[in-house]
Chains A and B, each alone.
Chain A
Amino acid sequence: MGVLNHLIAQQSVWQLPEGSRVLFATLIVLGAFVLFLGLIPVLQTLPPRGRRAIVVIITFLAGLFFAAEFFLPINWTAIFPKDDPTRNFLTPAIQPAQNVLQIIGALALGLGTFGLVRLHLRNVVQKRAQWGYSIVLLVSFITMATFSILNTLAEKEIVERGPVLERGFSILFDYTLVQLDAAMFSLIAFYIFSAAYRAFRIRSIEASILMFTAMLVMIGVVPLGAYLSYTLLGLPEGAAPEGANFLTQVQHNIGLPKIANWVLTQLNAPAQRAIEFGVGIGGLAMAIRLWLSLERGVT
């Protein structure tokens, strides 16, 4: 590990000389692509067991790194006297690991876009049913991608921001994408309203409890609840004064907002905590199964 730290600290090994950096960088990147392309036929010769072994080992090592970084004690000065006592020797590697995972994460997100475009290109080429809509999708995709990339580059002052880019991106983003997105998700309100009327039936104790709580919360948390309690019924607002008699204390605590808050903090919170505990234990079991590749269908 000392050697590794030494290497990481040694800037000159990892950094290209300033003089012909662009040329060398391009060559190395090309070399990296060639290397990984060349690896494909090599990897392909592996038998199924060997393929699985590679996946299992990489999954395990990726997990081991983060688990070890978390579990290892932080003070290693006894072994590595020059080490920072606030972190263990794996901690400095967190930061490059985060960069790698961000890049892979971005490529994974790009996967969805790639799949979508591929599907619709195929629709158009093969003139499948309703391929006209696929053209709409592809045209809006290309237009938006161009403006979006140019806009982000313009923010970093890599390209110049002209009025066409400014207004074009604003129309595409603020007045089209944002509006469509907001409209699409606001449709759910209509469906939830219709479903509440047509399907929310009080047939059991469970359904009654659920509906009663929902109604209490719905009225209690909005200003209407405060208006009904404090203005219409004239209940006292705020906490009861020190040493008030029982009746006054009750009056101070039966306003709808107070009751709704009590339901949320005293009845709802423990139920949510129980769900959390269930999720936590399940999550831990799942994490271990995934880490050790015991979960079928993933590796």
Chain B
Amino acid sequence: MQERTQSVWQRMLGIDRRWLYLVLFVNIVTFLVAPIRMPASISPPVQKFYDEIEKLQPGDLVMISSNWSASTLAENQPQLEAVIAHLMRKQARFTIISIEAQSRDISYRLAERVTKDKGYQYGEQWAHFGFVPNLIVAIKGMVNDLPNTIKQDVRGTAVNQLPVVRGVKSLSDYKMIIDVTPSGTLPIWISYSPKNVPILYCPTSVMAAEAYTYLDSGQIKGMITGAKGAQEYEQLLGVVGLGTRFMNAISFSHVLIILFILLGNFAMLMNRLQLRREG
């Protein structure tokens, strides 16, 4: 084969991946450290989410389905923190259930931490129902007979002795379901939970686009999209959380990726033109 010197476009196209990784890393570090903070424009699904929780009365009961593990920590943790902060502000009671083993401990430890700061009492105002591997039948069971389906919370207290769910017979006694998830649990909640309980949704951004059909049909009443939605929510609550801290870097990582897609296409085009010119 004939040795040919590579053109600048060919060299650009064949660049070592590790340089690209470095560019991304430096970009993120720069904009994480940069002392700028841009306010978000509140998107309608987040506003609806907020309004829906604003309607809660003190003492209303909310079911949080927390199904994320550390792999999506940066997306789901800001959401769960913001949502619990809002629920505590409304003096609502809440219970958490997890379909994912790791999420059981992550959400339990997170809720313990954020409720302790606000003096929220475990057992009185919130509880964790632990882990169930089969969400469908768990929901069917909870609709039918909640205390006998859950039986006991993570601390081993029988559910019918927990003050937070005193008198609760069924999932229909709840005022709201909030699904914080990186996996396909939303359709399960939509399909099997009681129709009178509104569902709010906190997906990772990956899954947000697919959920717009449920927003349109009213099957979910509001949505917080990933860390970006969490930032908008934090803004509505007037607090600074992880969502707000991440947002600058997210914005500019998008700019970077768009620039590089265009750059890659431009290099390919120029390369092709050059090859054509050279015959």
Please give the residue numbers on chain A whose beta carbons come within 8 Å of chain B beta carbons, in ascending order: 87, 91-92, 94-95, 97-99, 101-102, 105-106, 108-109, 151-152, 155-158, 173-174, 177-179, 181-182, 184-186, 189-190, 192-194, 196-198, 200-202, 211, 215, 217-219, 221-227, 229-230, 237, 255, 257, 261, 264-265, 268-270, 272-273, 275-276
A-B contact pairs, 13 of them (CB 8 A): A106-B133, A181-B69, A182-B71, A185-B71, A190-B20, A194-B21, A222-B254, A224-B251, A257-B43, A264-B212, A268-B212, A269-B215, A276-B213
Are A94 and B141 in contact, CB atoms less than 8 angstroms apart?
yes
Are B264 and A200 in contact, CB atoms less than 8 angstroms apart?
yes
Q: How large is the interface on B (under 10, 10 to 19, 20 to 34, 35 or more residues)?
A: 35 or more
Top 4 A-B residue pairs of the complex, sorted by shortest distance between their CB atoms: A156-B156, A98-B141, A226-B41, A181-B70
Are A179 and B70 in contact, CB atoms less than 8 angstroms apart?
yes
Question: Chain A residues near B72 (CB, 8 Å)?
Answer: 185
Question: Chain B residues near A261 (CB, 8 Å)?
Answer: 43-44
Are A155 and B250 in contact, CB atoms less than 8 angstroms apart?
no
Q: Return the contact of A95 from the options B21, B40, B148, B211 (Cβ within 8 A).
A: B148
- Name B150-175 residues within 8 Å CB distance of A: 152, 154-156
Are B154 and A156 in contact, CB atoms less than 8 angstroms apart?
yes
Residue of B nearest to A264 (CB): B212
Question: Chain A residues near B231 (CB, 8 Å)?
Answer: 223
Question: Chain A residues near B70 (CB, 8 Å)?
Answer: 177-179, 181-182
Are B216 and A269 in contact, CB atoms less than 8 angstroms apart?
yes
- Minimum C-beta distance from A41 to chain B (A): 31
Complex CA–CA separation, A240 to B73 (angstroms): 38
If over half of B's interface residues share one DSSP class (helix, strand or loop), that class is named, otherwise mixed; here it is helix
Interface residue B53 (Cβ < 8 Å from any Cβ of A): no
Q: Return the contact of B17 from the options A158, A194, A272, A273 (Cβ within 8 A).
A: A194
A201-B268, A257-B43 are known contacts; what are 14 more A-B pairs with Cβ within 8 Å? A95-B144, A155-B154, A156-B154, A157-B156, A174-B109, A178-B102, A182-B70, A186-B74, A196-B264, A200-B265, A265-B44, A268-B212, A269-B216, A272-B212
Residue interface bits B232-251, CB-to-A below 8 A is 1, else 0: 00000000000000011011
Question: Chain B residues near A197 (CB, 8 Å)?
Answer: 20, 260-261, 263-264
Q: Return the contact of A264 from the options B17, B138, B209 (Cβ within 8 A).
A: B209
- Minimum C-beta distance from B245 to chain A (A): 12
- Minimum C-beta distance from B263 to chain A (A): 7
* Given contacts A102-B138, A265-B215, A272 and B210 within 8 Å (CB-CB): yes
* Given contacts A156-B155, A181-B69, A225-B41, A218 and B133 within 8 Å (CB-CB): no
Question: Chain A residues near B155 (CB, 8 Å)?
Answer: 155-157
Complex CA–CA separation, A218 to B71 (angstroms): 22
Q: Return the contact of B247 from the options A201, A215, A222, A276 (Cβ within 8 A).
A: A222
- Minimum C-beta distance from B110 to chain A (A): 11
Question: Chain A residues near B254 (CB, 8 Å)?
Answer: 218-219, 222, 224
Interface residue B13 (Cβ < 8 Å from any Cβ of A): yes
Residue of A nearest to B77 (CB): A182
- Name B179-236 residues within 8 Å CB distance of A: 209-213, 215-216, 225, 228, 231
Residue of A nearest to B216 (CB): A269
- Minimum C-beta distance from B107 to chain A (A): 12
Are B138 and A223 in contact, CB atoms less than 8 angstroms apart?
no
* Given contacts A95-B145, A185-B72, A194-B21, A202 and B215 within 8 Å (CB-CB): no
Residue interface bits B1-40, CB-to-A below 8 A is 1, else 0: 0000000000001000100110010000000000000111
Question: Chain A residues near B258 (CB, 8 Å)?
Answer: 215, 218-219
Residue of A nearest to B208 (CB): A264
Are B209 and A268 in contact, CB atoms less than 8 angstroms apart?
yes
Question: Chain B residues near A108 (CB, 8 Å)?
Answer: 133
Complex CA–CA separation, A152 to B102 (angstroms): 12
Question: Chain A residues near B134 (CB, 8 Å)?
Answer: 98, 101-102, 105
- Minimum C-beta distance from A277 to chain B (A): 10
Are A226 and B71 in contact, CB atoms less than 8 angstroms apart?
no
- Minimum C-beta distance from A142 to chain B (A): 17
Interface residue B255 (Cβ < 8 Å from any Cβ of A): yes
Q: Return the contact of A272 from the options B21, B69, B209, B250 (Cβ within 8 A).
A: B209
- Minimum C-beta distance from B106 to chain A (A): 7
Interface residue B149 (Cβ < 8 Å from any Cβ of A): yes
Question: Chain A residues near B106 (CB, 8 Å)?
Answer: 178
Question: Chain A residues near B213 (CB, 8 Å)?
Answer: 269-270, 272-273, 276
Complex CA–CA separation, A196 to B259 (angstroms): 10
Interface residue B60 (Cβ < 8 Å from any Cβ of A): no
Residue interface bits B66-84, CB-to-A below 8 A is 1, else 0: 0001111110000000000
Complex CA–CA separation, A249 to B252 (angstroms): 30
Are A98 and B38 in contact, CB atoms less than 8 angstroms apart?
no
